[in-house]
């Protein structure tokens, strides 16, 4: 994305520090490559507040397993769902913004159970194919506060800020 001149929005690990914006302008090829790593994003990214978040054209999430239906499983902690729900809560994305993931072919499985807060995938990219899921699974319209443990709010100030703004 950075090589294509696109701005990259990166959630910090576990959403503890919110989001970083990485602008490709002025970065060398090696710096852009570095900026695409977790440590590099922290080095080259600029922290931005909720009111500075741009409208993403595409969201890419990490995945452990994904089904052609669009159902996915991450690491089980729900961070991709919270990142997406935060953007929905702020009105920056709607159900038309595509969600993509990259996985190995062996990570594409027949079926995965779905929870109400799960974010379905629209595009699966593997080393050998691209799967457009045409998923009919619903995308959450925001943070499902009733599913969020109080400890999460304490660990993620960005969620506390959203709740304080009237998100509950």
- C-alpha distances out from residue 82 to 7, 38, 153, Å: 21, 18, 11
Kindly state the tokens that stand for 132.
Answer: 């457009």
Instruction: Say whether pLDDT at 168 is over 50.
Output: no
How far is 32 from 122, CA to CA, in rounded Å?
Answer: 26
Predicted confidence (pLDDT) per residue in 31-72, tens digit: 999 999 999 999 999 999 999 999 999 999 999 999 999 999
| Mean per-residue pLDDT, 77-96 | 92
If one counts the domains in the chain, the total is 2
Residue 80 and residue 97 in one domain: yes
Task: Say what the pLDDT of residue 167 is.
Answer: 52
| Mean per-residue pLDDT, 153-164 | 85
Residue 31 and residue 69 in one domain: no
- pTM of the predicted protein model: 0.87
Kindly state the tokens that stand for 86.
Answer: 């935060």
Predicted confidence (pLDDT) per residue in 121-137, tens digit: 999 999 999 999 999 99
The residue written with tokens 């050998």 in the block is: 128
| Mean per-residue pLDDT, 11-21 | 88
- C-alpha distances out from residue 91 to 20, 60, 72, 85, Å: 18, 18, 23, 10
Which structural domain range is residue 83 located in? Answer: 59-167
């Amino acid at each position: 994305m950075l090589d294509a001149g696109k701005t990259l929005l990166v959630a910090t690990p576990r959403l503890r520090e919110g989001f970083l914006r990485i602008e490709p302008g002025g970065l060398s090829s090696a710096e852009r490559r570095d900026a695409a790593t977790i440590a590099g994003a922290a080095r080259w990214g600029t922290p931005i507040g909720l009111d500075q978040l741009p409208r993403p054209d595409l969201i890419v999430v990490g995945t452990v397993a994904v089904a052609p239906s669009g159902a996915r499983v991450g690491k089980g902690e729900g961070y991709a769902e919270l990142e997406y729900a935060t953007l929905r809560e702020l009105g920056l994305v709607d159900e038309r913004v595509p969600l993509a993931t990259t996985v190995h072919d062996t990570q594409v499985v027949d079926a995965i159970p779905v929870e109400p807060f799960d974010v379905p995938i629209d595009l699966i990219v593997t080393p050998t194919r691209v799967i457009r899921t045409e998923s009919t699974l619903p995308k959450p319209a925001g943070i499902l506060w009733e599913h969020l443990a109080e400890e999460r709010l304490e660990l993620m100030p960005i969620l506390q800020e959203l709740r304080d703004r009237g998100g509950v």
